[in-house]
């Protein structure tokens, strides 16, 4: 791996006092309101959701109505206007009832029309801070601030919408308070410096998207539907498969939309990622919040030497669908050198004394058998995995556990010992007959599910005991939640 660059220092205007109590760094610590335009931005979502449900369930009945075109048009427009008014009134009432403030230990949010709700997000449990700028919000200069807090599904705190300048100021305050940085009384925390590490070119993103299995599936489906329509002499096959095809096209577009202008940066605040075409997102993941990491390479990317990196972060564990894809992708498509730069930020020390971290990762990405010091699965595993049994194996370093797998789609999972939640050993009936077993490391729920399948049962049992001891020792010596104060 290339020499790790030194971390840039925090500006002089940020005074870090280890003996001072941590407190919020907003100049005004009182209750704050969201932007007054928020009801307008929320109302259209209500209208869109209702229209999608009503039209989707009653499209046949609507088409069978024998009404003049102008009557049907006025009815639809009147219904949309009524829905917009109802949505605007409800959103306005919700806006009047919502406020937030930040104190020394937590973010407090109050909301609710009929039932009052109070949320409290501990700053020392803060996993990530995202500034999201949707297309419509950017027209008004507004942004949504999303606070990802450890706690599983429903733990996210959303402040939508704020002026972009205020969202940035609050983000800086939250990250400073979470890190334990204290600034002068009555001043706002400045933004920490950032060093850009990787930027994904648009041409590479387009080519990688076209080379993905999802795109190929969509193309083959469209061709198949066209052939079916030609033989059937009707459009019945098209209508029957339209939903599936549109879903595939939407997924391909979403992959491009979220990966557009993807940049990865390093700062004292932690890992920073910015990306998005229509909806722009700026993510900040504080140091030590990455729970597990997966590096994959589809078959059609092999000639280009491209890789994708995904991570598990505790605050993102409750997301699904588009949100999960956006939040857990650390690098949508990158070269080996770019992969090394990213790993230097996320996992600066794998605990490999005899070889460089990048050499170990290379062996995990492309090697097989005992390459790179990996422990392979025994030969009898070929009866359960004919294609990739030679690729399967694991490596334990001083600081992390690496699991290698996949022949068609190469994969490497990396879990720091300190981030291992629990471990499990499983043995199916065929494994029991062959004397094999699988070991699984339980990380925070997410895209990465590290495991080693088809190990010798005695090796698996020993690995389970040893890895349990390593995880316990690593957790006892892990760094502080507020990484700049030693607390």
Q: Can you give 94-110 as a three-state secondary structure string?
A: HHHCCEEEECCCEEEEE
Residue 198 has which token pair?
């990787």
Q: Residue 237: is its pLDDT beyond 80?
A: no
Question: Given pLDDT bands bounded at 50, 70 and 90, which one contains residue 36?
Answer: confident
Question: Given pLDDT bands bounded at 50, 70 and 90, which one contains residue 460?
Answer: very high
Report pLDDT for 481.
56
Distance CA 229, CA 226 (A): 5
Burial class (CB in 10 A: 0-12, 13-18, 19+), 449: middle
Helix H or strand E segment including 342: helix 336-346
Tens of pLDDT, residue by residue over 99-125, are 888 877 788 888 887 788 888 888 878
Q: What angle do CA 79, 83, 86 make, to 5 degrees?
A: 140
Report pLDDT for 302.
92
Tens of pLDDT, residue by residue over 339-396, are 988 888 888 778 777 667 778 888 889 988 898 889 999 999 999 999 999 999 999 9
Burial class (CB in 10 A: 0-12, 13-18, 19+), 179: buried
Query: Using N-to-C axis directions, what is the helix angle for 202-210 and 236-259, rounded to 10°?
Result: 150
CB 424 within 8 Å of CB 439: yes
Could you give the percent of the chain with pLDDT greater than 70?
78
Q: Cα-flanking dihedrals φ and ψ of residue 37, to 5°?
A: -80, -10
Structure-model confidence comparison of residues 218 and 54, the more confident one: 218
**Of 196, 28, 201, 15, nearest in space to 102 by CA:** 28
Question: Given pLDDT bands bounded at 50, 70 and 90, which one contains residue 222?
Answer: confident
Residue 374 has which token pair?
């990996």
Q: Residue 295: is its pLDDT beyond 90?
A: yes
CB 118 within 8 Å of CB 78: no
SS3 351: coil
If one counts every other C-beta atom within 10 angstroms of the C-beta of residue 4, the result is 14
CB 135 within 8 Å of CB 121: no
Structure-model confidence comparison of residues 89 and 34, the more confident one: 34
Question: Is there a cis peptide before residue 161, judged by omega within 30 degrees of 0?
Answer: yes
Mean pLDDT, range 464-476, rounded to an integer: 91
> Residue 174 gets which letter from DSSP?
H
Report pLDDT for 7.
37
Q: Residue 22: is its pLDDT beyond 50?
A: no
Q: Residue 321: is its pLDDT beyond 80?
A: no
Residue 378 has which token pair?
């025994």
Pick the range with the lowest mean pLDDT from 10-19, 156-165, 180-189, 294-303: 10-19
Pick the range with the lowest mean pLDDT from 5-14, 44-53, 202-211, 233-242: 5-14
Could you give the percent of the chain with pLDDT greater than 90?
31
Residue 285 has which token pair?
């993941």
Please give the model's pTM, rounded to 2 decimal places. 0.80
Report pLDDT for 431.
95
Distance CA 77, CA 60 (A): 19
Hey, which residues does 380 pair with through a beta bridge? none
Structure-model confidence comparison of residues 81 and 481, the more confident one: 81
**How far is the first Cα of the chain from the last one, in angstroms, to the nearest whole number?**
32
Distance CA 69, CA 90 (A): 32
Tens of pLDDT, residue by residue over 163-217, are 999 899 888 888 877 776 666 666 677 777 888 999 999 999 999 999 998 888 8
Report pLDDT for 376.
94
Q: Give the list of residues 6+ apart from residue 413 with CB closer than 8 angstroms, or none.
A: 292, 293, 294, 402, 403, 405, 448, 449, 450, 451
Domains of the chain, first to last: 15-34+98-184 (2.30.29.30), 39-96 (no CATH), 286-477 (no CATH)
Tens of pLDDT, residue by residue over 122-157, are 887 888 889 999 988 898 899 999 988 876 556 678
Helices (H), 67-191: 69-96, 135-139, 164-179
How far is C-alpha 13 from the geometric centre of its chain's CA atoms?
32
SS3 43: helix
The side-by-side arrangement of strands in the sheet containing 117-122 is 32-33, 99-102, 106-111, 117-122
Q: Residue 17: is its pLDDT beyond 90?
A: no
Report pLDDT for 8.
41
Tens of pLDDT, residue by residue over 404-441, are 999 899 999 999 998 898 899 999 999 999 999 999 99
Question: Given pLDDT bands bounded at 50, 70 and 90, which one contains residue 84?
Answer: confident
Report pLDDT for 463.
94
> Considering the chain, what is the average pLDDT of its residues?
80
Sign of the four-CA dihedral 406, 411, 417, 419: negative
CA distances from 373 to 187, 438, 467 (A): 53, 20, 17
Pick the range with the lowest mean pLDDT from 45-54, 211-220, 286-295, 441-450: 45-54
If one counts every other C-beta atom within 10 angstroms of the C-beta of residue 244, the result is 13
**Of 411, 439, 482, 408, nearest in space to 16 by CA:** 482
């Amino acid at each position: 791996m290339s020499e790790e660059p030194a971390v840039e220092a925090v500006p002089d205007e940020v005074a870090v006092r280890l003996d001072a109590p941590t407190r919020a760094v907003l100049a005004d610590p009182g209750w704050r309101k969201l932007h007054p335009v928020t009801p307008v931005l929320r109302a259209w979502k209500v209208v869109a959701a209702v229209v999608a449900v009503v039209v989707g369930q009653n499209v046949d009945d609507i088409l069978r109505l024998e009404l003049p075109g102008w009557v049907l048009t006025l009815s639809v427009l009147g219904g949309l206007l009524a829905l917009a008014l109802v949505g605007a009134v409800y959103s306005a009432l919700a806006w009047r009832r919502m406020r937030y403030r930040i104190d020394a230990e937590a973010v407090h949010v109050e909301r609710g029309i009929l039932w009052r709700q109070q949320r409290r997000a501990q700053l020392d449990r803060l996993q990530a801070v995202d500034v999201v700028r949707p297309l419509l919000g950017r027209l008004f200069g507004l942004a949504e601030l999303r606070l990802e807090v450890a706690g599983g599904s429903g733990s996210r705190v959303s402040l939508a919408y704020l002026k972009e300048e205020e969202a940035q100021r609050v983000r800086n305050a939250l990250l400073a308070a979470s890190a334990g940085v204290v600034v002068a009384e009555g001043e706002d925390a400045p933004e920490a410096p950032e060093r850009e590490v990787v930027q994904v070119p648009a041409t590479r993103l387009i080519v990688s998207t076209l080379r993905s299995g999802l795109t190929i599936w969509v193309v083959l489906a469209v061709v198949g539907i066209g052939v079916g329509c030609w033989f059937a002499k009707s459009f019945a096959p098209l209508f029957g498969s339209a939903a599936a095809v549109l879903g595939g096209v939407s997924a391909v577009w979403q992959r491009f939309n979220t990966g557009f202008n993807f940049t990865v940066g390093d700062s004292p605040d932690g890992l920073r990622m910015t990306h998005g075409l229509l909806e722009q997102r700026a993510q900040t993941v504080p140091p030590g919040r990455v729970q597990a990491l997966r590096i994959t390479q589809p078959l059609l990317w092999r000639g280009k030497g491209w890789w994708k990196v995904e991570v598990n972060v505790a605050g993102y564990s409750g997301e699904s669908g588009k949100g999960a894809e956006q939040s857990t992708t650390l690098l949508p498509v990158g070269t080996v050198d770019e992969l090394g730069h990213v790993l230097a930020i996320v996992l600066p020390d794998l605990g490999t004394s005899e070889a460089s971290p990048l050499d170990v990762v290379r062996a995990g990405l492309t090697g097989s058998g005992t390459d790179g010091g990996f422990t392979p699965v025994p030969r009898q595993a070929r009866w359960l995995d004919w294609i990739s049994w030679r690729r399967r194996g694991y490596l334990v370093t001083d600081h992390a556990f690496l699991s290698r797998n996949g022949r068609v789609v190469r994969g490497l999972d990396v879990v720091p010992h300190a981030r291992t939640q629990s471990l499990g050993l499983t043995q199916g009936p065929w494994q029991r007959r062959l004397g094999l077993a699988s070991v699984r490391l339980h990380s925070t729920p997410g895209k990465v599910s590290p495991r080693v399948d088809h190990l010798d049962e005695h090796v698996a049992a020993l690995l389970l005991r040893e890895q349990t001891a390593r995880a316990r020792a690593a957790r006892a010596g892990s760094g502080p939640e507020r990484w700049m104060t030693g607390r």
